[in-house]
């Protein structure tokens, strides 16, 4: 591909909030009809190689030998394991927030073989993505389908500060981590409750890493949620600043403020210091070898909750780091978390290989 032409992954929030590919030529761009992609395609001769991330099937490596040529499948990440009638496709939604429109993807419960009771609305799991200045899309995600195929709605929130909706939206998190993200996750849930799509008495929030911080901050600053799940999440910002790896050691300067000048702000935003406002069960999942968010983050929170006789569950996984990789770990986390929500919300999930253990409940 000539250097005067560049293929880039662009996101236009005014349309549907998903990534598409555009060919940029001398400052002008033309959208390419190749569907949603992961990051920017790579030039190959006169064409492109890219990872397609459709909403209905696992990712796949694709190749176009020329822009006027059909796309060729090189390799799919995995076979489709769900019938198409069971796949819930994320609907791009906007909802009101304190800073203007917020953005998320709403996944309605869906299963070809089962229907929910006519006289009850489904529970909702709010997803707070990691980063925290990254983004989520509505690409096919088996973990989301795990919830929706079992009668639980999901809203995947691109809170203020997320990439993909313009510079002003991205800058909303500057100095406001633990405030804007928390408010937007709560606002997304309230929006779906107001639309009559989910049960306002059965709202849960979950997230990993930075999303785990947002989860814990939401649970310790609001009574909107009835349960939460933190996966290798941050509970103490000062502990994170002192323990995390060198690459992200100054990341918090922009999200919270520089140290030591803003030390009081770190304490104010840390969920560990607001347990008096926590009034619901929380489950923690942690990798024993995590160097980014070490286990002491989860263990400090679990110990403090236990001392206050608050309902809490904690699972530590040997051989796992920051972000779980083993298939058995991923499966076990999903089953334990589903059973956890069942215990809190009053349903019994069939077919689980293990039942969750919750202290003080």
Q: How far apart are CA 24 and CA 27, in angstroms?
A: 6
Q: Which residues contact 96 (CB under 8 A, 6 or more apart)?
A: 102, 187, 191
Q: Are the C-beta atoms of residues 63 and 47 closer than 8 Å to each other? A: yes
Distance (Å, whole) CA 342 – CA 340 = 5
> Which residues face 317 on adjacent strands?
287
* Cβ atoms 32, 23 nearer than 8 A: yes
Which entry of 103, 129, 139, 322 is annotated as an active-site residue? 322
Give me 140's structure tokens: 């096919």
Of 128, 149, 162, 209, the catalytic one is: 209
Q: How far is CA 320 from CA 129, 146, 288, in A?
A: 20, 22, 6
**Phi-psi domain of 36 (left: phi exceeds 0; alpha: psi -120 through 50; beta: other):** beta
Chain centroid to Cα 184, Å, comes to 13
- 221 classed as catalytic: no
Query: How wide is the angle at C-alpha 284 spanned by C-alphas 198 and 342, nearest 5°?
Result: 40
The closest alpha carbon to 186, from 104, 86, 91, belongs to: 104
Q: Is 209 a catalytic residue?
A: yes
Burial 100-132 (b: 16+ CB within 10 A, else e): eebbbbbbebbbeeeeeeeeebbbbbbbbbbbb
Does the annotation count 270 as an active-site position? no
Residues identified as active-site: 209, 290, 322
């Amino acid at each position: 591909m000539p250097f005067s032409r560049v293929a880039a992954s662009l996101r236009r929030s005014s349309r549907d909030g998903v990534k598409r590919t555009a060919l940029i030529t001398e400052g002008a761009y033309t959208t390419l009809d190749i569907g949603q992609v992961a990051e920017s395609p790579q030039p190959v001769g006169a064409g492109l190689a890219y990872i397609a991330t459709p909403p209905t099937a696992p990712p796949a490596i694709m190749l176009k030998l020329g822009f006027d040529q059909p796309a060729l499948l090189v390799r799919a990440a995995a076979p489709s394991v769900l019938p198409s009638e069971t796949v819930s496709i994320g609907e791009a939604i906007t909802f009101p927030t304190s800073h203007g429109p917020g953005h998320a993807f709403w996944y309605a419960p869906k299963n070809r073989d089962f229907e929910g009771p006519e006289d009850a609305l489904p529970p909702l799991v709010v997803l707070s993505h990691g980063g925290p200045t990254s983004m989520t899309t509505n690409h096919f995600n088996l973990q989301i389908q795990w919830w929706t195929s079992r009668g639980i709605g999901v809203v995947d929130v691109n809170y203020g500060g997320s990439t993909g909706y313009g510079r002003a939206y991205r800058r909303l998190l500057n100095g406001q981590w633990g405030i804007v993200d928390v408010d937007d996750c709560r606002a997304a849930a309230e929006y779906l409750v107001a639309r009559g799509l989910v049960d306002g008495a059965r709202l849960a929030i979950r997230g990993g890493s930075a999303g785990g911080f947002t989860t814990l901050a939401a649970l310790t600053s609001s009574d909107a949620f009835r349960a939460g799940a933190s996966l290798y999440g941050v509970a103490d910002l000062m502990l994170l600043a002192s323990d995390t790896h060198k690459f992200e050691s100054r990341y918090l300067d922009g999200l919270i403020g520089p140290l030591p000048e803003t030390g009081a702000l770190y304490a104010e935003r840390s969920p560990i210091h607001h347990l008096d406002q926590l009034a619901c069960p929380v489950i923690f999942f942690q990798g024993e070898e995590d160097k980014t968010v070490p286990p002491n983050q989860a263990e400090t929170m679990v110990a403090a909750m236990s001392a206050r006789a608050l309902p809490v569950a904690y699972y530590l996984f040997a051989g796992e780091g920051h972000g779980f990789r083993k298939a058995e770990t991923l499966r076990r986390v999903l089953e334990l978390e589903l059973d956890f929500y069942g215990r809190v919300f009053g349903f019994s999930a069939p077919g689980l290989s293990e039942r969750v253990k919750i202290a003080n409940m």
